[in-house]
Structure 1
Amino acid sequence: MAAESDAPERGAGTEKLWNETGIDPVELHLGKDSGYTLRAYRMSDTLPGAKAEEPEPDEAEDDDEDAPEAEADADAVPEDPDADEPDPADFEDEAPEDGDEEEDALDAEPEEVPVFLTRKGKLLVFREPAALVAYVRDNDDHDLAAVDEYADLQERVTEDDIVCDEADIYELDLVVANLRGGQEGWEPELLIKAAEVGRDLGYALKNDSIVSALAPGSPLDDLDEAFRVVAEGGLKGRFAKRRLKRSDPQQAAIAWRGVIAKINDHVEWRG
């Protein structure tokens, strides 16, 4: 397995660096290659792309007043005296459905979202810690630079700090083989972590295919939910195990292979 049990532990200074910046190194194993990148979680309204403020009423009114009336009159289409009277129903606003209103309300609420070392739709992954550190120190033309603490990280990070927490090591190269091996050999922790980083990367890369494959209600999401219940143990865990036995290992493996292929397509290997 890629994550060795004798992996180096973080020193106090390294732990302090990652805690104070709120950024973490992530280790990805993607089959043909493995490497390191960075990830942070921030509230969506603190990042570029947050909803812009509405213009002040006075400004909007001024814009309307400045619009030349003559141009509007010139573009007006003359009325046809023989045309039928319009149906009043054509001018009625379509009433929004309750579900649409709820979705709009949810979209307006800030949420915690992942931010990776991504640039122009590509995830930057470095084969060596030294290459990652060199890039971070010299570059800020990527999405993670929008995080306020990134400038602090640039000044402080060293090669020795690229030590990943066990929870931030993702062995996506093992997922398909594990699923194909059948339910008895499935490793819940491996597969739960794969779904976690898959969702994060789908969001950060703005890849609808990855997001949809792991969205609530999808087969892979249902599988992930069952694994989480199994990991918790107890009576619910036993019931979840029974539910997993009805899952098709080959279909799950095929679906995950597609997700991992899409992630690989958006990785730019460095170093």
Structure 2
Amino acid sequence: MAADIIPIQLGLTEGNVYTLWAPQWLEDGEEWEAFLGHGDHLYVFPSPAHLAAFIRTSDEHDLIDHPEWDTAAELLVDELRPDDDHIFDIVGVPDLMAEVPDIWTLASLTDTVAIVRSLAEVCDLEVVEEILDSADGFAVLPLGQQAFVGRNGEKLWNEMGAVIVERWDEVIDALDALVTIPEVDAEELTQTKAEAAAINAVAKTSETVEPEEEEERDEDLEFWDETGVDCLEITIGERTGYTLRCYLGDDPVFLAENHRIQIYSSAEDLENYLMETDITHNLSTLQVWEEIRRAVTDGDAAVLAGPENTYRLDGLTESLREGPEAVDGKQLELAVELLIDAALERGDTETVEAVGSSTPLGNLISAITRPDPDRLPPSPPFDDEAAAWSVLVDRFAGTLDWDGARG
């Protein structure tokens, strides 16, 4: 299956520029990846209007033989404006390293390093590849915060930071030397600029929406809100189970032992488990744990999952195979949250990377959960993405210990 062609924005020395990226796709048994360019040059443009004018009139570039090029060449100007997941501030990487390595900083750094690595591999920038391979921290970025905690994590972060301070200018110089702004047809540019102006005018017109009345929160849900621990209801493999999760800082922590999540087939069964006094698990050392155990034992609190913690994984694989219109975007968003949280706790980098914006599956998920008229819509078939999703769900299912069983 061919991957979609995605508009991206790169922050370089001369400012923000726009181009197109075709993530890895399989064709005739070989993997390919490409950017809009020709020969030794990466083509970039000062605005989506310039990009639109070029792709509508030029047939001399490296994406012309891409299976989805005919679709990409017909995109409107607003469809060539990258979404937030595909804006990469490459010159801003040193500033990112100066920030606290929280979930947002790491997410931005991870995506930016990933696109830089793709550019280096596709465009044979050996010095950039060598720099990205010179510190182990670059490779473990997809793990998130947990990769940079403790003495070893601090060492990884500092080593990566030192490389960025000392050598990131070499990365920028290599990319600056690679990019070029090709000429565009003047008449076509006039039309695309007019098109952009018309779209912007329409976008400024917004409808007034009446605020929805806030529903009263259930008393049991309010109890769990106050403790900072969430009850989860998970449907997977035609079974529904209940477990707990909280966040220490930004790090997810489940009701688990040795990375095995304890899940029970009914709320009452989980309550009985929580009443026990001699159990040990990841949550039992929390200060609030004795309060939870006592409230459940005394009947002052019950296991109840709110809609924000109700996860329905069944059926999503089949819906993804059918395409975006068949998928419940909210349920998919929640499912992705659950899979990533569980993967982060057990140190599963493959799952985190699989749903990242640089993969076909990640691109499809993003298009469904954050629909944007400015983005290029994904194109069928979606068999590969559905298969990749099924692997992630099966991997998560394999970490669940049901009703006190031990895997």
TM range (shorter): 0.5 to 0.7
> Which letter maps to 2:224?
W
What is aligned with 2:264? 126
What is aligned with 2:81? none
Contact 2:260–2:400 at 8 Å: present in 1 too? yes
What is aligned with 1:196? 337
TM-score (norm 1): 0.62
| Residues in 1 aligned to 2:288 and 2:361: alpha-carbon distance in whole angstroms | 34
For structure 2, the residue ranges without an aligned partner over 5 or more in a row are 1-215
Aligned residue for 1:145, secondary structure, equals coil
Q: CA 1:205–1:159 in structure 2 vs 1: closer, same or farther (change >3 Å)?
A: farther
Contact 1:183–1:249 at 8 Å: present in 2 too? no
Q: CA 1:262–1:182 in structure 2 vs 1: closer, same or farther (change >3 Å)?
A: same
The Cα shift of 1:229 comes to 2.3
Tell me whether 1:219 sits opposite 2:360 in the alignment: yes
Tell me whether 1:36 sits opposite 2:242 in the alignment: yes
**Correspondence for 2:326 among 175, 185, 205:** 185
Structure having the larger proportion of residues in helix: 1
What is aligned with 1:102? none
> Which letter maps to 1:123?
I
**Correspondence for 1:238 among 362, 370, 373:** 373
Aligned residue for 1:144, secondary structure, equals coil
Matches within 5 A, 1:116-195: 116-138=254-276, 139-157=278-296, 158=299, 161-195=302-336
| Residues in 1 aligned to 2:335 and 2:284: alpha-carbon distance in whole angstroms | 25
Contact 2:357–2:366 at 8 Å: present in 1 too? no
What is aligned with 1:82? none
1:150-171 CA distance string (max 9 Å, x none): 2211111249622211111111
- The root-mean-square deviation of aligned C-alpha atoms, in Å, is 2.2
Q: CA 1:15–1:27 in structure 2 vs 1: closer, same or farther (change >3 Å)?
A: closer
> Which letter maps to 2:353?
S
What is aligned with 2:253? 115
TM-score (norm 2): 0.43
For structure 1, the residue ranges without an aligned partner over 5 or more in a row are 1-8, 44-111, 231-236
1:93-140 CA distance string (max 9 Å, x none): xxxxxxxxxxxxxxxxxxx11111111221111001111011112154
| Residues in 2 aligned to 1:183 and 1:19: alpha-carbon distance in whole angstroms | 33
| Residues in 1 aligned to 2:292 and 2:347: alpha-carbon distance in whole angstroms | 25
Q: CA 1:159–1:265 in structure 2 vs 1: closer, same or farther (change >3 Å)?
A: farther
Contact 1:188–1:228 at 8 Å: present in 2 too? yes
| Residues in 1 aligned to 2:381 and 2:392: alpha-carbon distance in whole angstroms | 17
Ranked by relative contact order (alpha carbons within 8 Å, sequence separation 6 or more), the top structure is 1
| Residues in 1 aligned to 2:268 and 2:230: alpha-carbon distance in whole angstroms | 16
Matches within 5 A, 1:88-107: none
Contact 1:117–1:144 at 8 Å: present in 2 too? yes
Q: CA 1:268–1:10 in structure 2 vs 1: closer, same or farther (change >3 Å)?
A: farther
Aligned residue for 1:173, secondary structure, equals coil
| Residues in 2 aligned to 1:10 and 1:31: alpha-carbon distance in whole angstroms | 30
Contact 1:117–1:124 at 8 Å: present in 2 too? yes
| Residues in 2 aligned to 1:178 and 1:185: alpha-carbon distance in whole angstroms | 5
1:200-234 CA distance string (max 9 Å, x none): 0111233333233234533333333222321xxxx
| Residues in 1 aligned to 2:362 and 2:321: alpha-carbon distance in whole angstroms | 18
| Residues in 2 aligned to 1:209 and 1:122: alpha-carbon distance in whole angstroms | 18
Q: CA 1:148–1:216 in structure 2 vs 1: closer, same or farther (change >3 Å)?
A: farther
Q: CA 1:143–1:216 in structure 2 vs 1: closer, same or farther (change >3 Å)?
A: farther
Q: CA 1:40–1:247 in structure 2 vs 1: closer, same or farther (change >3 Å)?
A: farther
The share of aligned pairs that are identical, in percent, is: 25
| Residues in 2 aligned to 1:33 and 1:229: alpha-carbon distance in whole angstroms | 29
1:173-210 CA distance string (max 9 Å, x none): 12101112233322211211111111001112333332
| Residues in 2 aligned to 1:219 and 1:148: alpha-carbon distance in whole angstroms | 42
**How many aligned residue pairs are there?**
186
What is aligned with 2:106? none
1:20-56 CA distance string (max 9 Å, x none): 210010011112321000011112xxxxxxxxxxxxx
Q: CA 1:197–1:213 in structure 2 vs 1: closer, same or farther (change >3 Å)?
A: same
What is aligned with 2:119? none
1:43-94 CA distance string (max 9 Å, x none): 2xxxxxxxxxxxxxxxxxxxxxxxxxxxxxxxxxxxxxxxxxxxxxxxxxxx
Greater Rg, structure 1 or structure 2?
1
Q: CA 1:149–1:159 in structure 2 vs 1: closer, same or farther (change >3 Å)?
A: closer
